[in-house]
A and B are shown apart, each in its own frame.
Chain A
Amino acid sequence: MSFISRLQGLLRRERLDRELDEELRSHLEMRAADNLAAGMSPEAARIDAQRRFGNTTLFKQDTRAMDIIGWLDECARDFRYALRMLQRSPGFTAVAVLTLALGIGANTAIFSVIEAVFLRQLPYKNPSKLVVFTDAEEPQSGGLLYKDFQACKSQSRSFESIAAYYRDTGFSRVTVAASGEPESVQGAFVSADFFPTLGVSPLFGRTFNSEEELREENVVILSNGLWLRRFAGSPEALGKNLQIDGIESKIIGVMPATFQFPNKDQQFWAPITTNRYWRDPALTTKIDPRNTRFFFGRWQAVGRLKEEVRFQQARTEIDTVFARIAESDPDKNRGPVALVPVAVNLGANARLALFILLGAVVFVLLIACSNIANLVLARGASRNREMAVRTALGARRIRLTQQLFTESVLLALLSGCLGLVLASIGVHVLIAFGPPDIPRLDEARVDGRVLAFTLGVSFFAAIIFGLLPAWKTSQSDPNESLKSGGRGASGSPVLRRTRNLLVVTEFALAIVLLTGAGLLVRSFLAVQAVELGFQPERLLTMRITMPAGVPDTRRMAVHDQVLQRVAALPDVKAVGAISRLFELGETRNLGLRAIEGRFPEPAERWTPLTWTSISGGYLQAMGTFLLRGRYFSEQDGPDSPLVALIDERMAQRYWPGEDPLGKRFKGQDPRGRNDDWLTVIGVVQDMRRNGLERQPLPHIFEWYKQSGGVPFDLVVSTSGNPRMVASTLRSMVRGLDQDAILSPVTTMEQQLSDQLSPRRFQTSLLGLFSVMALLLASVGIYALMHYSVSQRTHELGVRIALGAQRRDVMRLVMREGGQLALAGVGIGVAAALAITRLMSSLLFGVDVTDPVTFGSVAVLLIAVAFLACYIPAQKAMRVDPMVALRYE
């Protein structure tokens, strides 16, 4: 029995057991039949037959043990031998184990992340039955009307339960305070059946019931993070109070750390009825036609399907329910409702990036494997004599293959162990540098499943780099090898072709990786070079939030004081504020309600646009140029004519080819005493406030004294070192108002850098892996050429003795390496053209077939190959014919 079939035998132990049972049964039957013939009663015949076996279980154990002992003996012999062989060539072993450990480690690390993010069971009861109701057009922040939620609940038959929740989408976070400074956090306001629907229970304490929800009782359940942060993980937190937007809420429970629904940074859960928007008619059932979907899109719902209901059925049912609702109650605030399974809420790009990285590490592993396959082949060639002798002495070929393969398995297992160590370091690094947009990334760790994966990868690697060389080596003809005295070992053309093929493959794989990385690097540079429309250098930002319930007059007073005092600080050039520093969320199609002298614009022609309130010298501090007209001034008071600044895109959008100055329009909500017109007083540069990788949004800026909102995202431009100003800024504002919630002071450059963190993560990782690929591939070609030269010393010596110029010899070697490199580059470029297309959505400002990237990667690889061949070629050139021929 061969190694493999024994392995199968072991795995198919059940089958073996069945066979043994059958064998014994047939024995018993024959004995019983003979006993019967000898005149025993049938009963006695059967008992006698059985008795002779004694203890059947013990007997079966003994017999089975014999099946396995033979196999184990052979394995142990092979492993001892393999260990000796590896010990005998420590150099080879070290190089092979290190190379492979890098490949396996990288694979394991990336797999740990994928396992934590995608594969690990979500921490809910039977998560496959959970679905989320969301807005098909705005899956991240959209939602459904509260009345529709109620209709859904009463009309649909597919669900065991449905729970609604309100997720703050970021720009109006709530304030919590217990002891210490108030902070601004994300919270969820949920209906009482929220926890039962998800099937989760608190770490300790309890959740609230529907009576508490109806009574609008102020109770709150803390996230594990908030509990640890604000209450030092003390169980005495239960019964204490947490202030949510200034309202005292009693803490009744703490959730486990794994519970992060609906979002990763959820800090607490409170009854939906205690939400400060609850009584807002626009959010519940009444319709205010002046409001848009913007405000309605916040109720989301999660439902648990009945056991027997499939997802598709539920979706069909919900479609019909909503068709019915839409017919009886047409409401233009209603968005298209979509039902999606509760899976990891991961952006498409983060998902794509993770799988591209997984692909990249598989490539690295393949390159590492072919490198080692080459090493093993080369070693196999020099062990030809050993194999030949053993074959001649009667060893079966399959035994030799088996034994060589055992060496590879041992090598792979050693590398797997080392790789595991590298991986656990790698996972920590990944978590530390990972972008915030990957949920559950911080839960990545090396666990049982990852261990199994590593073991699997190691075996896979062993099969790739071990089986082929083992077979090839054991196949060599003993006659040939013995006759030639081991000298002509490299001459086997099959072996040679195999090795060349491996190097070509390595080059092709490396090209694909480098091209992908190159495209990402070019995108990264392109993103960094975009025209921002403002100057981020030496700019400080800080968010000041006032707790809910603080009257507008006090907000305004605090705001004005802050601006005044900051402007007076030394080294401050300009200071101002805006209602939102960036618009990074989903954009909505919006339009102006009225434009003087025009028909109203139909909603179908709306496009994304935004308007915000600014104060002080916001535009001056940002360094955004005024192209025409004037800035706001202190004369633009609440009672003076309403004015607005727009940017170039806005001017293009509504007044193309006209002078926008003096044009009048009305925005979404009424302004002034009498729904007055706003007059355009100036045009500014386009600003990328909505992310570096998106087209700038058209802007309307309003003056805070006229819009009514008090902007609190502070921007301060400084002339000296911004750090100096930063240190005084916070304490100064704190001194002005004790209740204000202050974010840490950051630089604008840091803010922009944070926006780039997903891209930086993808780019640096793919870059790292492609550099590994490049190094491995160049080591591969170097080793091959080096080996080839050393094997051909004799031939080269003869050539030189017969009058070949040393230059010719060198050219010969260089040509051989060059051909391999060129073939690899050719195949690699073709493959890269096909494969990089998959990553087009990750690219920015660069084409998937970008000739610069493709060209430079090809040139780089050829150059590396040239260098790698140069050293062996030099060696070949220096071959001394006398020395070479003396071996004869």
Chain B
Amino acid sequence: MNKPKNDLLQGTLALLVLKTLARGPLHGYGITLHIQLVSKEFLRVEEGSLYPALHRMEQDGWISAEWGTTENNRRARYYRLTSAGRKQLAEEEQNWERLTLAVAQVLRFA
């Protein structure tokens, strides 16, 4: 197994997924593709952690799921952001910005 290029920071996976879903409903595979594409292949989402995270977020009520068909006429489980999820996303985005800002400041200072 390839060593992942980049271990996602604890908690960032949820942020990335929520952000991805903010564009519209998507299935699990689509989410991995999207994150990989947008991060220019830099971030790679492990399937092994994506699905537990999706189901957990579903339990938390941030996202909801339903069965749908892909453009290639395949059955897939589509996830959609709920209003609670939207709130959560806003919060996590803020947190992330604060975190990166803080880290950047530390780096600049040192």
User: Within 8 Å of chain B (Cβ to Cβ): is A69?
Assistant: yes
Q: In the assembled complex, which residues on chain A have CB atoms less than 8 Å from the CB atom of B75?
A: 22, 26
- Distance (whole angstroms) from the CB of A69 to the closest CB of chain B: 7
When C-beta atoms are compared, the residue in chain B nearest to A53 turns out to be B47
When C-beta atoms are compared, the residue in chain B nearest to A61 turns out to be B52
User: Within 8 Å of chain A (Cβ to Cβ): is B34?
Assistant: no
Q: Which of A23-52 contact B (CB under 8 A)?
A: 23-24, 26-27, 29-31, 33-34, 51-52
Q: In the assembled complex, which residues on chain A have CB atoms less than 8 Å from the CB atom of B55?
A: 63-64, 66-67
User: Within 8 Å of chain B (Cβ to Cβ): is A59?
Assistant: yes
Q: In the assembled complex, which residues on chain A have CB atoms less than 8 Å from the CB atom of B74?
A: 26, 29-30
Dominant secondary structure of chain A at its interface with chain B: helix
Assembly CA distance A71 to B56 (angstroms)? 10
Q: In the assembled complex, which residues on chain A have CB atoms less than 8 Å from the CB atom of B58?
A: 66-67, 70
Q: Which of B31-76 contact A (CB under 8 A)?
A: 33, 46-48, 51-56, 58-60, 70, 72, 74-76
Dominant secondary structure of chain B at its interface with chain A: helix
User: Within 8 Å of chain B (Cβ to Cβ): is A65?
Assistant: yes
Let me know if A59 and B51 touch, CB within 8 A: yes
Task: Please tell me the number of chain A residues within 8 Å of chain B, measured between CB atoms.
Answer: 29
When C-beta atoms are compared, the residue in chain B nearest to A26 turns out to be B76
Let me know if A69 and B48 touch, CB within 8 A: no
User: Within 8 Å of chain A (Cβ to Cβ): is B9?
Assistant: no
Assembly CA distance A24 to B58 (angstroms)? 16
User: Within 8 Å of chain B (Cβ to Cβ): is A307?
Assistant: no
User: Within 8 Å of chain A (Cβ to Cβ): is B25?
Assistant: no
- Distance (whole angstroms) from the CB of A370 to the closest CB of chain B: 36
- Distance (whole angstroms) from the CB of A27 to the closest CB of chain B: 5
Let me know if A33 and B48 touch, CB within 8 A: no
Let me know if B52 and A65 touch, CB within 8 A: yes
- Distance (whole angstroms) from the CB of B72 to the closest CB of chain A: 7
Q: In the assembled complex, which residues on chain B have CB atoms less than 8 Å from the CB atom of A59?
A: 47-48, 51-52
When C-beta atoms are compared, the residue in chain A nearest to B45 turns out to be A52
User: Within 8 Å of chain B (Cβ to Cβ): is A493?
Assistant: no
User: Within 8 Å of chain A (Cβ to Cβ): is B80?
Assistant: no
Question: Contacts A54-B48, A67-B59, A69-B59 given: A23-B76 contact, CB under 8 Å?
Answer: yes
- Distance (whole angstroms) from the CB of A25 to the closest CB of chain B: 9
User: Within 8 Å of chain A (Cβ to Cβ): is B104?
Assistant: no
Q: Which of A472-518 contact B (CB under 8 A)?
A: none
Q: In the assembled complex, which residues on chain A have CB atoms less than 8 Å from the CB atom of B29?
A: 26-27, 30-31
- Distance (whole angstroms) from the CB of A70 to the closest CB of chain B: 3
Let me know if B52 and A62 touch, CB within 8 A: yes
Let me know if B56 and A24 touch, CB within 8 A: no
Q: In the assembled complex, which residues on chain B have CB atoms less than 8 Å from the CB atom of A52?
A: 46-47
Let me know if A33 and B72 touch, CB within 8 A: yes
For the complex of A and B, the 9 pairs showing the least CB-CB separation, nearest first, are A70-B59, A66-B56, A66-B55, A62-B52, A30-B29, A26-B76, A63-B51, A23-B77, A27-B29
Identify 23 residue pairs between A and B in the complex whose beta-carbon atoms are under 8 Å apart, listed by A's number.
A1-B59, A20-B51, A23-B28, A23-B77, A24-B51, A26-B74, A26-B75, A26-B77, A27-B28, A27-B29, A30-B29, A31-B29, A52-B47, A53-B47, A54-B47, A55-B48, A59-B52, A62-B51, A63-B54, A66-B55, A66-B58, A67-B55, A69-B56
User: Could you list 8 further interchain pairs (A-B, Cβ under 8 angstroms) beyond the known A30-B72, A66-B58?
Assistant: A22-B77, A26-B29, A30-B70, A30-B74, A53-B47, A59-B51, A64-B55, A70-B56
